[in-house]
């Protein structure tokens, strides 16, 4: 279960970083933006791993011998992408108006990684629905906090959060490989 909590925090770092960026640009509407970010990011971060888990269960019989390697490679790619993105400009820099369409796009973009990470859930001894609920709620909390942090600190923590999340996801992949 500790792996799920660590995975939940690490996966939420993408949404957390975007929320910080959004909060730093839209300080006057922080409360409504925090609720919107929390709901969109939390919902999609909770649903995508379930899709990945179900897909992983479907192919697990075919690739069972290689499953730890597949999980490791997927998590290493996800973590590497997050580390890379920690040093690049965020997409929220160009967003002037926050609409439901914009939030939907951001929620999907930040949760694609969670779908791939859902494959790793097939290798952990956890209830998949509970794991997805934990991931979703954790992301909701981090997203709400991120908006408020962004209104106060600007983008100072944005890249750092994404970097730490990426490193943790790579480490989870290494752990799965050597289980």
DSSP 88-156: S--GGGG--S--HHHHHHHHHHHHHHHHHHHHHHTTSSS-HHHHHHHHHHHHHHHHHHHHHHHHHHTTT
Quick check: pTM over 0.95? no
Q: Taking all residues of the chain, what is their mean pLDDT, rounded to a whole number?
A: 82
- Averaged pLDDT, 10-35: 86
**At residue 46, does pLDDT exceed 90?**
yes
**At residue 61, does pLDDT exceed 80?**
no
Instruction: Tell me what percent of the residues of the chain surpass a pLDDT of 70.
Output: 88
The domains of the chain are located at: 2-177
**At residue 93, does pLDDT exceed 60?**
no
């Amino acid at each position: 279960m500790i792996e799920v909590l660590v995975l939940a925090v690490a996966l939420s770092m993408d949404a957390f970083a975007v929320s910080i960026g959004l909060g730093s640009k839209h300080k006057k509407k922080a409360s409504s933006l925090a609720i919107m970010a929390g709901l969109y990011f939390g919902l999609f971060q909770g649903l995508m791993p379930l899709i990945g888990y179900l897909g992983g269960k479907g192919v697990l019989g075919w690739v069972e011998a290689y499953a730890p390697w597949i999980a490791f490679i997927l998590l290493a790619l996800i973590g590497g992408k997050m580390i890379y993105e920690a040093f690049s400009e965020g997409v929220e820099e160009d967003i002037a108006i926050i609409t439901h369409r914009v939030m939907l796009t951001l929620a999907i973009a930040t949760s694609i990684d969670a779908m791939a990470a859902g494959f790793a859930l097939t290798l952990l001894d956890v209830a998949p629905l509970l794991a997805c609920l934990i991931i979703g709620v954790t992301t909701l909390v981090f997203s709400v906090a991120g908006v408020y942090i962004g209104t106060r600190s600007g983008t100072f923590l944005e890249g750092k959060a994404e970097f730490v999340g990426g490193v943790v996801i790579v480490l989870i992949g290494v752990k799965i490989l050597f289980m």
